Structure 1
């Protein structure tokens, strides 16, 4: 092992695939049923929530794309926070990404991947088989990213192509079938039920889309490993996010043309499988559902690419716990192995938390149980706001649209997401904020200890 920087090993195709591949693959399947339940089967309101969530993603991605053309160091969003707000704020965001954001989402995706495989096998989605498989997926993808990052990059590109197959087929054939059978018109004309699972259906649905849309920012974690990053990263963010919004809306409409909303809501995790089988027959539907599992694994791989680099982004700045240890890069794999192992450990802990807080009948953590698939995402939107404010103040050589107009809209989008989260998760918000505060205080302590 030796202390050196990471090499430029990824091209534009990997960056675009990372944006599209991380975002598309799980949430569009995993959260579709929650959006239907939150809106009471109101298809129009569900589509509106996808559009609002997409606008928020595209606007924020555009602003970060602007920053990407001007700042390139070790880890995109941490670089931007450091340059715009200050070194301490950059450290706080880096610590949040390394300890909460990356590992929580990575752990959820390990379970989601196992969940859909379990649906194929007829397993209980919270049973021992599914949870064991989730742990296996977590370790297997970690090994691929740590021991052979180039293979992980190629896996990301290939799974991105594979995961688009079921989405586009459902978008096109599901819409055609729905128009022909009248199911699509029926689903648009009336809600499936008269009551919803939420007092604030639109806010709850938009927050649910945040998980489906999240992940694009993780592409900035390979900033220092991307060839011609100042040119390629903005292209990847802009093209990737616009493509994702269009794909999601078309898929959601196609899905509505397969079966009645009431059937989708009643069958939970089986809903997507029923939809595919109703259009493509039992055999064809099963094959395409296998593609859904592969697409989830592609998303897991992309998240792991960010998770294993979390502490390295801090250590490369001589910040965080024991920087000398976590910034070591293995000469054979060109990866920070110590940081990778810690990233896996944190993801494993958050997987255990997700199971105990969200999957068991009686939550283990009581008042401190929260949805770790959504609240960390909303938190990062709140943490973007100071970056956008300082961008408006500091980037004096930008035109008025890129300096003022787009950052202002991005701030409005972030505030909307925060307000929506308070309405959607009002019961668990206090417990989450306490856990968040404790972890961030630990970050301060570890940083001071690391300096000494």
Structure 2
């Protein structure tokens, strides 16, 4: 491998930038669509499902933060699994992250298309991927600035919608259930909600570009997760209070909620906010996937050409372009629901390996154990088609690894 392949990335991101990138991943398009199917699965147990997802996310975030502080390199759990469990487990984590998050990228791009121009959703999705890949190519600071703008817009839209609903006089707190639903339904809903939580990993995968990573990464992950949980809990309570049982059949819960509150003038604003949120998620996802690809290419698990860092922009430009092309192809052909289900399974496997890696660190406690068990249980409760497809792709990755080792 040439010396250019090992060119280090520049540490340009502070705590605020890292938190914003995490928020851009978590408070994305999922917040505009996930509560409907989650309510359909959990029934009156929606808040319990949110709590389960939050506990699993907290364990995963804590394990990721501990590992990122010890190994402040690009690659996230790919690096942690390799260093703590062995090369195969690191490879499997990296494979899970790359294939799962590329599916998630396609889902976010399609969400943009469905909100902006439903009749041409696939074409809009491809254009969104191309545009954001170009932004990422120009450097990490430009990506952080754009993400900050997107997060501000999305939070403003959400705050305006919640305020309009709360002040409408049409909410009914009696519709908010604290218990109910079946265990299987609650766990399936937790899996759907976890999909929207999972963006904090983006902070860890940028470890090589964060200043003072041992301090910045754990703090940024915890802050981003806390803000996201507060936003999700507020939205869940608000939607249940205004829509009641109708929440479970809503394809666009927030748009339906402002209409039910008599604030239909806000609906176009909500739709624009959903498109902007999806763009924010897509931007951060492309960042994270390309950095994991960089780390795997450095170790020879992906073509070494992907490990080259641009001499001017200091980004893994070949990895970013490759990810962009693959995601654009998937977005042009895939169905958004299938992409989300597949992504959820792969990402839960990724975090299971992160928790197993954290368990090997000094000062063991129960957090990694709870996180590992939670990931495996929630993954098993996803729709059967998602479990089968995810397991098949992971098996294919393991086969590729084995054949490469034999050669």
User: Could you tell me the TM-score, scaled by structure 1's length?
Assistant: 0.81
Contact 1:72 1:223 in 2 (8 A): yes
Query: Paired residue for 1:442, among 393, 400, 403?
Result: 400
Find the structure with the greater CA-based Rg: 1
Match of 1:153 among 144, 151, 157: 144
Rounded Cα–Cα distance in structure 2 between residues aligned with 1:267 and 1:389 = 37
Distance, in Å, in 2 between the alignment partners of 1:65 and 1:341 is 28
Q: Distance in 1 between matches of 2:260 and 2:373?
A: 41
Residues 1:35 and 2:38 are matched in the alignment: yes
> Contact (CA 8 Å) 2:147, 2:283: kept in 1 or not?
yes
Which 5+ residue runs of structure 1 have no aligned equivalent? 360-370
Aligned pairs for 1:40-439 (under 5 A) are: 42=43, 44-98=44-98, 100-118=99-117, 123=118, 127=119, 129-177=120-168, 180-186=169-175, 188=177, 200-262=184-246, 264-269=247-252, 271-279=253-261, 281-317=263-299, 319-323=300-304, 325-352=305-332, 354-355=334-335, 371-393=338-360, 395-396=361-362, 398=363, 403-421=364-382, 425-439=383-397
Return the alpha-carbon distance in structure 2 between the equivalents of residues 386 and 144 of structure 1.
31
* 1:268 aligned counterpart, secondary structure: coil
Would you say the 8 A contact 2:95–2:394 is kept in 1? no
Distance 1:170 1:59, change over 3 A: farther
CA shift for structure 1 position 188: 4.6
- CA-CA distance at 1:151 after TM superposition: 1.4
Note if contact 1:203-1:420 (Cα within 8 Å) is conserved in structure 2: yes
Once the two structures are superposed, what CA deviation does each residue of 1:423-442 show, in whole Å capped at 9, x if it has no partner? Answer: xx124533442233124423
Task: Name the Cα RMSD after superposition.
Answer: 2.8
Q: Secondary structure at the match of 1:181?
A: coil
Shift of 1:261: 3.3
Match of 2:340, SS? coil
Q: Cα deviation per residue 1:338-388 (whole Å; 9 max; x = unaligned)?
A: 211211122134324532xx67xxxxxxxxxxx331333333333444553
Structure 2: runs of 5+ lacking an equivalent: none
Partner SS, residue 125 of structure 2? helix
Structure 2: how far apart are the matches of 1:181 and 1:387? 45
Instruction: Give the equivalent residue in structure 1 for 2:10.
Output: 7
Q: What is the deviation of 1:303?
A: 0.8
In the alignment, the residues of structure 1 paired with residue 357 and residue 93 of structure 2 have an alpha-carbon distance, to the nearest angstrom, of 15
Post-superposition CA distance 1:78-130 (Å, at most 9, x none)? 221122112332123223323x0221111111011222223xxxx3xxx4x11
CA distance in 1, matches of 2:179, 2:59: 32
**Residue 20 of structure 1 corresponds to which residue in structure 2?**
23
Q: 1:233 to 1:375 in 2, by over 3 A?
A: same
Larger RCO (CA within 8 A; separation ≥ 6): 2
Change (3 A) 1:437 1:240: same
Q: Using a 3 Å threshold, how does the CA distance of structure 1 residues 164 and 136 change in structure 2: closer, same or farther? A: same
Count of aligned pairs between the two proteins: 404
